[in-house]
Amino acid sequence: MPTLIASGDQDVFLPPARLRSAAQQRCHVDADIIPAAGHLVTDEHPDQLAALVARLVN
């Protein structure tokens, strides 16, 4: 099943290093980290997130 895990590089709730580790261990995927974004990537950078989703489904 296609899986996308993404967050911002400034996320204080789930820092990128911790997210990457969990994504690898639990889902066997690489986490996509969005520059200049925090925890709410969907609000902060919707176009970048949409591009990641498009890449996943195409």
Average pLDDT over residues 4-21: 95
Q: Which residue type is seen at 10?
A: Q
Average pLDDT over residues 47-51: 97
| Residues 9/37, Cβ–Cβ less than 8 Å | yes
Residues 9 and 17: their CA atoms lie apart, in Å, by 9
Average pLDDT over residues 18-36: 95
Average pLDDT over residues 24-53: 96
Strand partners, 6: 32
**pLDDT over 90 (residue 1):** no
